[in-house]
Structure 1
């Protein structure tokens, strides 16, 4: 007995003729490439080339029928004749009538194929998007349609490496040669121009959930709505005039250009920083530099992978606390892991495209949760907004094919499944009809109303505005083209919001410190706040009576006032209770410091403590005999005296050893007097002291040292004061 149909396996079709089942044909997958199902060229030619498959359905529909499904291949054409021989059927006149009638019916329907081939191009890290792609095709192919004849979507999928332009070109040309009618594909900045250029040249429509492009591309349908209008409306509401805009070039410069134009009109101070090539260390250095510049408001426009890395670095440097505000400029606020931000105190706002309370989304989630994550990677987590866009993209293609069949448009690819690199290019003749029909599609999908303008961009869509709270993301409003930003009544974004305090119990954190907070003597006999007494206990009671709230005293578990760890940047004590949202108010003898004021707000102090220094006023004294010594310390004066004595002694010793200082006066010729009383050496100890004192006082002296002359004679150093 054959197994029932299931997603990803074979497809079983039972064809009934005259009340009995004549034949059963099972088709299976053959071969994979790059992790995705591939179809060999030999069988692909037979599987579908416009009318060949219709011919088989018309002339052999009695013994068997060939079915197609995602990732499924059919048996060769000879299987039909073998089935016919095994059943040994004879075609009666009634069968011939049905056969001829079916042929004319096919011509009347414009020879619309019962199996429509579509392409799929997926890049790295898009496993969940591929799972959504497969699920959407399976649900379409297996859903009953009583109003009109069904048709199957047959995908041809390639996994491309966007860094290799040749691989991107080869994948697209491979899809084109297989005769696909439209391509669903994802791109990044490296492959966007290649894909859009090929689609424009060959008239093949590209349906993509990737970031919207600003250029006009006739054959590109942008499933992702533009976030520009919603972001500017939110910035206007917050009245930001100074903030940092972090972006990467993967998403283009559309939002950056819009913000800069708005900044020029409103005199905003915007610091735009591209973080495309940043690593973890670069993120941390950037955040620390911005913190020194007192930047507290950020708009982050990054793709999911880089955004998550950026948020981890924000937490690592402690910038997720109160006083910081972040706006996530993407459409999947619930897709972001903000668990570490929930109790940090920072304000985080973003946009959400998928409404998980929508009945259509709930119904799909029931099917999604039943998928085997080993076979369908990414199914263990809720679908991201890009996966929801992928699902809607398949639905858009299916609806467009229905409209083409109703209009009896012949979309066959006869003569068009050739070389995409031909010069000149040979575009698909019916590509214009396909593109026009796709842009006319309007349906309700997982991302709300799906509708396009003549440029292929989403219009008339609605996105929700979310804000992170202690218990997770909470919807605070929505945005659309008609109403712009609309906030719900209980939103904390509204000014002067005081709702919620009267209807809940406020947690007041404090610390056991007498006489401020103490346990009563018989505290075991009491409950709650009655167990405590002290100045802060009475103060909290009076404040609660004055503003009319209920409160609960909570003693800080670690018994600390509050300090930030220099490595982890995490606050402990009562300050940590406030920063991470475990308490709303702290009533305690908490010292007001600069680092604490950066993360929490203080009231006016109820007590001022400190140390005072008293200094005696100096009295004026009359100058004495030795007052001239006051400018210098006694140690300095002692050094001067010793230097004076030392120089004199050295001068005396030098004069003793120098032969030029020894001299005798000879009596003049013709005189017969006694010898002179002048000593043979003028530099005795007293004269040396006298010479040093004169030099120190910058005054002259009658004696001076003798120096050797070049001529061999002695020369007296003459005092400049003498002349």
Structure 2
């Protein structure tokens, strides 16, 4: 940007508006007054902003001059209330150079005040001023120390032997990272580039942005009786206090104004939510359930994760089913009952056929019809008696008839052994199935959601969950995103609380996709009518965010690692999730198969 500082400010404001102030962009301000302008808007975006500074305010001579300048009355000397700009410094040095030159001419007794031979400015060809050569020679002889450093000229009138500071914009303001001169050329101090300490933070109140989201940050019931940080409670409130204690700084909690986590507008490229407050310098650190993602990492820095989680499915807990008339069939599967029926019919038919062919099942009966006596061969195992015998054996009851042939007894023995196993298994499971009320969930996994349209499903309108589905290349998740994007009415919600209420009021016709930790927490809260189904769809973590290049980043990261090693992070989760639960040990009766369970 090769223009004056006033124009630079307008250009940088426009850069912020169109979202070109993030990581990946580098702006070089080509004038000599890097610190003269207001760079606060672009300071936290992540873009590299560098430039040059010719006035060194650390120089004792400049500091003395600046002190005298600021002591002047602003009414008489406009601008005396601020640091001198580089253009004013150059003007001051120019006057000083002219003064030195004229003093040199005076010592040489050269009279340059005579009006003779003044020359005609409009003459063609031009007629030089007679004293001009003397003044030029005097200017080249000047060697003074000015506000802009050493002032000296070569034989061509070019300034030589001066130094220019190389500046870079950091999260804490402009920082000198090196210098340039004719002898050494560009010299960069790497320690200034990569410095990351928290020196001086003890005297500064750090602004901590967060979001009202139970159980992370909640307003106390009697919040009016407290002030500042004491008005809030929750997991992140306790975590912020521990981080501040380990890093040694004072802090003030600030609830994000728009109630959003942080996403970049696709058209304007402007960040909203907590990420936006960090990017645009409205906060120093974000302690909240903020998911670590690639697009956020490009503009802000994250600590190591303080909590691991994944996207999960929340549905309304289905009504528990009471035992019905045919509940006695539940201990065995439908397929088993069908096999038993076919086995029953098959054994009866085999027994009937065996009895037909075996002579041992036949016997002679005498009949008297008047005076006539007849003998007739009969067989007791007709088809109906065979069915009756098999049914009696299955029901563990006796029967008036029994097979007498070896083959018939083998068939009967096999059937008795079969019924012994079946009845024993049935009896063992019957009591449990009749006494335990069971829930039938219409959705068991993301696949179940994707292949149906009766139950709508959606996410938070601005957050990492929505971004996950939007960017996913997996066919299942891409199909779900296509549905969510085109669904009418909209399936997206502005807050998690709105999403939970929509699940509760939808009568089972809406599923909400959210982080597993929040899902587990809501399961433990009254009226205990939601439940988590299936496993996590992905794996990610919550991190503490700081502006790009912030001096707090390294200290916060070390504090998180230390708290994790001490087990304090687990204690905080147990405190706010389970110790304060309202639904008992059963919770929300989450339906997650052992193979689908994911850590965090």
TM-score band w.r.t. shorter chain: 0.3 to 0.5
The structure with higher relative contact order (CA 8 Å, sep 6+) is 2
Q: Name the larger-Rg structure.
A: 1
Q: TM-score, normalised by structure 2?
A: 0.43
**Structure number with higher helix proportion:** 2
